[in-house]
Chains A and B, each alone.
Chain A
Amino acid sequence: MTTPPPKIDLRNPIVAGILAFLFPGAGHFYQRRFFKAFVFAFGVWGSWWTGMAMSDWKALQAPDRGNMQTAAVLKFAGQAGVGLPSLWAVYQSSRYYSKDNTSPITIAGPEEYSFQGRLNMRAENANQTGDVTGTLSLVAAKGDFGPAIGGKFAGSLDGKPLTFDLANKVHLDQPIRSDRQLAVTASVVDEKGEYLGELLGKIPRPLMNWFACPLDQQEEAEWHRERGKYQELAMVFVWVAGLMNLLAIWDAVEGPAYGYYDDENTPAPPPPAA
């Protein structure tokens, strides 16, 4: 008599499938198939993180729902198998293409950011022109045409401390963008409000505002130029992770495709009785 293969307890396959989709490995962990949970978590996440790191964290991009282009949809379809990040990418895409994603007119309250940039002063203060680092303090202010952003800059130029007031027309880049830094432009003024020069630079953009954000054409071109062939390889890693997780979801819902063992391991049936 042959020993039947052990029965695989899939528990609730739908729950396992959803968990496997959202977090690779979690579905099998729920089913107490620990070896497979480790294999899928290690394999899918390993491939996904490698691809993301290789692409400078820009490989994950969901298409614009208002303008579904085939290339963008196909590119995302390969990645979508890794659920949680993909769902975030869809949400991020809707934020990015939203009408609200424009340069803010004003801000809610006082905010402070570390700043790196360049100070371009007028001819009479030309000795203060150069690269600066410091802290940018922004406040809601009243400009010539309504609400605006004002503030102060405190930092250093070539090791010498500097403090400047900023005119009430500080310009910030759109909040949601794939760039990890947010561009700032401001006019530097003296105590009387007289124009002294321009401050141009960048402040850090919060992770939630740049991660898995779509790229515009210029950013896409720059990304390809920077990464070269590694951009393509990174995309392959992320696609492979997404597609492999589809197989893992299938395994969580239906069990293994060929059975418990392979044929070589299955005990041979007894010879027929004479």
Chain B
Amino acid sequence: MVTTTMRILRHRRHPRRNLDRVDQSASLFNLGQQIMMYTLNLLPLAAVVSLIWTATRYESTPTIMRKSVRLFLQILFFMALILVGLFLLSRGL
């Protein structure tokens, strides 16, 4: 009984608490979306870097295409690895 009363009082003292929680999760969702959009810009950048780097190494078009696709996938793999590493390190912060 005492606990329930305290809960009600606490709730009255912070009438916006529940609303804030909803706002917070919405803003976190937006932030997540923004980070996602921001990170997606790195895909074309990685593709262009792989293509140009390989184009300056070889002359044959099939070789350039094959090697640049491989380099692009390698870059993505290491970027994902770093992302996972950073995610694990920042967990609980």
Contacts of A1 in B (CB 8 A): none
Contacts of B57 in A (CB 8 A): 256-258
Contact B51 A39 (CB under 8 A): yes
Contact A40 B55 (CB under 8 A): yes
- Measured between C-beta atoms, what is the minimum distance from A227 to chain B in Å? 12
Q: How many residues on chain B are close to A (CB under 8 Å)?
A: 20
Name the segment of A56-64, A117-125, A130-138, A228-236 touching the other chain. Answer: A228-236
Q: Which of B8-64 contact A (CB under 8 A)?
A: 38, 41, 44-45, 48-49, 51-53, 55-64
Taking a contact as CB atoms closer than 8 A, the residue among A8, A39, A237 that contacts B64 in the complex is A39
Contact B58 A259 (CB under 8 A): yes
Does A91 sit at the interface, judged by CB under 8 A? Answer: no
Q: Which of A210-258 contact B (CB under 8 A)?
A: 229-230, 233, 236-237, 240, 244, 247-248, 250-251, 255-258
Does A261 sit at the interface, judged by CB under 8 A? Answer: yes
Beyond A233-B41, A256-B57, whether A262 also contacts B52 by CB under 8 A is no
Beyond A39-B51, A47-B48, A233-B38, whether A248 also contacts B56 by CB under 8 A is yes
Q: Which of A15-68 contact B (CB under 8 A)?
A: 33, 35-36, 39-40, 43-44, 46-47, 50
Contacts of B59 in A (CB 8 A): 5-6, 8, 33, 36, 255-256, 259-261
Contact A256 B61 (CB under 8 A): no
Contact B49 A244 (CB under 8 A): yes
- Measured between C-beta atoms, what is the minimum distance from B26 to chain A in Å? 19
- Measured between C-beta atoms, what is the minimum distance from A211 to chain B in Å? 23
Contact B38 A39 (CB under 8 A): no
Q: Determine the distance from Cα of A191 to Cα of B89 in the docked complex, in whole angstroms.
A: 73
Does A265 sit at the interface, judged by CB under 8 A? Answer: yes
One digit per residue, 1 when the CB lies within 8 angstroms of any chain B CB and 0 when it does not, for chain A 57-94 equals 00000000000000000000000000000000000000
Contacts of B63 in A (CB 8 A): 260-262, 265
Taking a contact as CB atoms closer than 8 A, the residue among A50, A240, A251, A265 that contacts B55 in the complex is A251
Contact B56 A250 (CB under 8 A): yes
Q: Which of A237, A240, A262 has the most CB of B within 10 A?
A: A262
One digit per residue, 1 when the CB lies within 8 angstroms of any chain B CB and 0 when it does not, for chain A 87-123 equals 0000000000000000000000000000000000000
Taking a contact as CB atoms closer than 8 A, the residue among B38, B41, B48, B60 that contacts A244 in the complex is B48
Contact B45 A237 (CB under 8 A): yes
- Measured between C-beta atoms, what is the minimum distance from B13 to chain A in Å? 36
Q: Determine the distance from Cα of A230 to Cα of B57 in the docked complex, in whole angstroms.
A: 31
Q: Which of B55-93 contact A (CB under 8 A)?
A: 55-64, 67
Taking a contact as CB atoms closer than 8 A, the residue among A43, A230, A236, A262 that contacts B58 in the complex is A262
Contacts of A50 in B (CB 8 A): 44
- Which A-B residue pairs are the 6 nearest by beta carbons? A251-B56, A247-B56, A43-B48, A260-B59, A43-B52, A244-B52
The interface of chain A, by Cβ under 8 A from chain B, is 5-6, 8, 33, 35-36, 39-40, 43-44, 46-47, 50, 229-230, 233, 236-237, 240, 244, 247-248, 250-251, 255-262, 265
